[in-house]
Structure 1
Amino acid sequence: MKSARFLLAGVALAACFVTQSVHAETLDFGIISTDNSSALKERWQPLIDDLNKQTALDVKPFFATDYAGIIEGMRFNKVQIGYFGNASAIEAVDRGNGEVFAKVKYKSGEAGYYSVLITNVNSKWKTIDQVLKNTREINLGFGDPNSTSGTLVPSYYLFSKNGISVRNDFKNVLPSNHEANMLAVVNNRVDVATNNTTTMATLKKEHPERFAQLRVLWTSPLIPSDPLVWRRDLPQATKDKLRNFFDHYAQSDPREKAIMDAITGYAGFEPSSDAQLVPIRQMALFQKKQQVQNDAHISDADKKTQLAALDQKLAQLDSVAAK
């Protein structure tokens, strides 16, 4: 009788060890706040469920109210893998011990997406030239500070290149996520707002009546597709499982393809590296250089020193880009 109890206990203990080995590692998957958390969870949870089943990892979604929450999560090892935009990925790489290992693919076959400036279809602002000439009269819906398409790209290509300071030249600047900015334009709570073609395509698919209320005033150059970042210090065995999953996901399975399409019109993933961030780094440094050049509060000597340092960084990035 006693030996039977020992046998049962041994079986239970063995089962416990098996369970622990299957889910030995818990990872938090950070997802930047392009929309509200419930909408993001609905789109991403099916993929995360498949990730857990196919890798035997225990991966849990992690949402924050802004991009900085995901960046800081990776920095303090509360997030081990994440879906980022390019600008926020730079922060995760530089401050969070992160490394780009994959990027999303689009059904359209394009290598990326575009930043846009939108207004209501009935707005009095009909052209981008009207907006640029009348910023003092305009309420601007702007992106998260770490957003590539909502902040960095329009700041550089649209505003800085036209001598406009987002902070100083608009009547009001109201930063928010892409979804909230889009609704603010639809409901005439702001005059114009930054956004991107990926979010626009989702709105057209899910709420065509709202999409019909929008007009695009400006479109940026191509932005590289959004990267996936993991912490560099993850065990190699875990990295291998993650890479194998993302390299093969939605390549042929119709159900997986439908899951990717539902996220934001994606078609799967492909390998990438930190090198995809180089053009975004160059853009950020060019923007910083313009700010220094135009800052009347910086002495000529300090300005010269700062510009020389920025030129050195740009030269280093040019060398990386050439390779």
Structure 2
Amino acid sequence: MKLFRSLLAASAACLAFTGTAAHAEDLNFGIISTDSSAVLKKAWQPFIDDLNRKTGLQVKPFFATDYAGIIEAMRFNKVQLGYFGNASAMQAVDRSNGEVFAKLRSANGDAGYKSVVITNVNSRFKTIDDVFKNTKDVTLGYGDPNSTSGTLVPGYYLFAQRNVAVNAKTFKAVLPANHESNLLAVVNNKIDIATNNTITLDTLEQTHPDRFKKVRVLWTSPVIPSDPLVYRKDLPEATKQKLRDFFYGYAKTDPNEKKIMAAITGFAGFAPSTDAQLIPVRQISLFQEKRKIESNATLADDDRKSQIAAIDAKISALAAESKQ
């Protein structure tokens, strides 16, 4: 009887271990909403098929209607691995137990990409200065609130530098949408201007040169670090290593892999990265927070000063970290 009980206990322990291991091998891969789910699935599925075949993992794509959906899914462990923009990756790291482990490599060798403001080639706006002559008569297609190139970068480098708030009081209308929707709205002359990025424009030029000719770029930002890949910190180390080995080696030599990556908005592969690549985005985010506090008339002077001092300390700490 004792032997029988021991065997039962051993079997139960084995089953428990097997269940845990199996769960660790089943992952959901969150992909930010830069386009419709159908378009994203078509571009990413061959890559995910290779990922499963080469690692032995069972990875399924996870699409949401906005960036927040992926961030929250990772927070509640419904997504364990994700492709993000830098701003959304910052949220995933801060709120969803995430960790940056890789970044995309551009086919042209660029260290990153750029945010742009675009308009229809036949619009009344010939320069970015034309836009700011009377923003109350301008319909702006803005990015997702967690988009780096669609919101955070133009918000800091363009609108904040000109002391222009992005809201319905300043503009005729502000219409948040993903990059693809904003691009099509400009091409079809449905909105006056829109934020976007050079990756989306490069893809449009290659796939629909006729539509690309309908776009005029009014403003271009400084370089934004390439989009990061994030996994949950609590994944088993063995699983993390499988993911790192796969991503770091993918599309380096194999022609079919190169073709698959090219279909994902022209990328060439991946390179190692860490949370440190988010430092510039954190600095921009803190600067914007500081500007809001400075303009908040409801705050007492002492409260305003203390909050600004706290933000300045964070910005200084990030500057020191970036030099290391």
The residue type equivalent to 1:95 in the other structure is: R
How much does 1:22 deviate? 8.3
After TM superposition, where is structure 1 displaced by more than 3 Å over at least 4 residues in a row?
20-24
Please provide the CA RMSD for this pair: 1.6
Instruction: For residue 65 of structure 2, give the secondary structure of its aligned residue in structure 1.
Output: coil
**Distance in structure 1 (CA, Å) of the matches to 2:304 and 2:174:** 28
In 2, Cα distance between equivalents of 1:74 and 1:316: 27
Q: Report the equivalent of 2:249.
A: 248
CA distance in 2, matches of 1:24, 1:164: 48
SS at match of 2:132: helix
For 1:238 and 1:31, locate their aligned partners in 2 and report how far apart those are by CA, in whole Å: 19
- Structure 1 residue 147 corresponds to structure 2 residue 141: no
2:65 corresponds to 1:65? yes
Q: Describe the SS at the equivalent of 1:45.
A: helix
- Equivalent-residue separation in structure 1 for 2:281 and 2:21 (angstroms): 40
Alpha-carbon deviation of 1:298? 2.3
CA drift at 1:232: 0.2
Deviation at 1:147, TM superposition (A): 0.1
Counterparts of 2:133 and 2:35 in 1: how far apart (Å)?
Answer: 31
Shift of the 299–24 alpha-carbon distance from structure 1 to 2, 3 Å rule, reads closer
Report the counterpart of residue 316 of structure 1 in structure 2. 317
Distance 1:22 1:87 in 2: 32
Instruction: Provide the residue aligned with 2:5 in structure 1.
Output: none
Letter in 2 for 1:315: S
Using a 3 Å threshold, how does the CA distance of structure 1 residues 313 and 21 change in structure 2: closer, same or farther?
Answer: closer
Structure 2 unpaired stretches of 5+: 1-17
SS in 1 for 2:48: helix
**1:208 positional shift:** 1.2
- Matched residue, 1:120: 120
Measured in 1, the distance between the counterparts of 2:298 and 2:136 equals 23
**Following TM superposition, by how much is the alpha carbon of 1:40 offset from its aligned partner in structure 2, in angstroms?**
0.3
CA contact (8 A) 1:46 1:259 kept: yes
Residue 74 (structure 1) aligned with residue 51 (structure 2): no
Over the matched positions of the two proteins, sequence identity in percent amounts to: 64
The answer to whether 1:305 aligns with 2:310 is no
Q: Deviation at 1:292?
A: 1.5
> In 1, are the aligned partners of 2:104 and 2:227 still within 8 Å (CA)?
yes
Residue aligning to 2:178: 177
Aligned twin of 1:236: 237
Per the alignment, in what secondary structure is the counterpart of residue 166 of structure 1?
coil
Structure 1 residue 25: Cα displacement: 1.6
After superposition, residues 255-270 of structure 1 pair within 5 angstroms as: 255-270=256-271
Shift of the 301–120 alpha-carbon distance from structure 1 to 2, 3 Å rule, reads same
Q: Which residue of 1 aligns with 2:6?
A: none
Q: What are the ranges of 5 or more consecutive residues in structure 1 without an aligned counterpart?
A: 1-17
C-alpha contact 1:22 1:56 (8 A) present in aligned 2: no
| Cα distance change of structure 1 residues 22 and 308 upon mapping to structure 2, 3 Å threshold | closer
Say if 1:143 and 1:178, in contact at 8 Å, map to a contact too.
yes
AA in 1 matched with 2:42: E
Residue 273 of structure 2: aligned partner: 272
Cα offsets for 1:95-139 (capped at 9, x unmatched): 000000000000110100000000000000111011122111000
Contact 1:118–1:194 at 8 Å: present in 2 too? yes
Task: Give the Cα separation in 2 of the matches to 1:27 and 1:105.
Answer: 23
C-alpha distance in structure 2 between counterparts of 1:205 and 1:39, whole Å: 16
Kindly state the Cα deviation for residue 23 of structure 1 after the two structures are TM-superposed.
8.7
Q: Distance in 2 between matches of 1:53 and 1:90?
A: 30
Deviation at 1:302, TM superposition (A): 1.7
User: Within 5 A, what are the aligned runs for 1:131-210?
Assistant: 131-167=131-167, 168-210=169-211
Calculate the TM-score normalised by the size of structure 1: 0.92
In the alignment, what sits opposite 1:48?
48
Equivalenced residues, count: 306
Secondary structure of the corresponding residue to residue 216 of structure 1: strand
Q: Secondary structure at the match of 2:39?
A: helix
Shift of 1:297: 2.7
CA contact (8 A) 1:23 1:56 kept: no
TM-aligned CA deviation for residue 289 of structure 1: 1.1
Greater Cα shift, 109-118 or 312-321 = 312-321
**d(CA) in 2 for partners of 1:21 and 1:99?**
21
8 Å contact from structure 2 (residues 24, 236) kept in 1: no
CA offsets 1:264-297 (integer angstroms, 9 cap, x no match): 1100000000000001100111111122112223
* 1:39 matches 2:33: no
Cα deviation for residue 21 of structure 1 reads 7.6
Offset from partner CA, 1:45-84 (integer Å, 9 cap, x none): 1110000000000000000000000000100000000000
C-alpha contact 1:115 1:153 (8 A) present in aligned 2 = yes
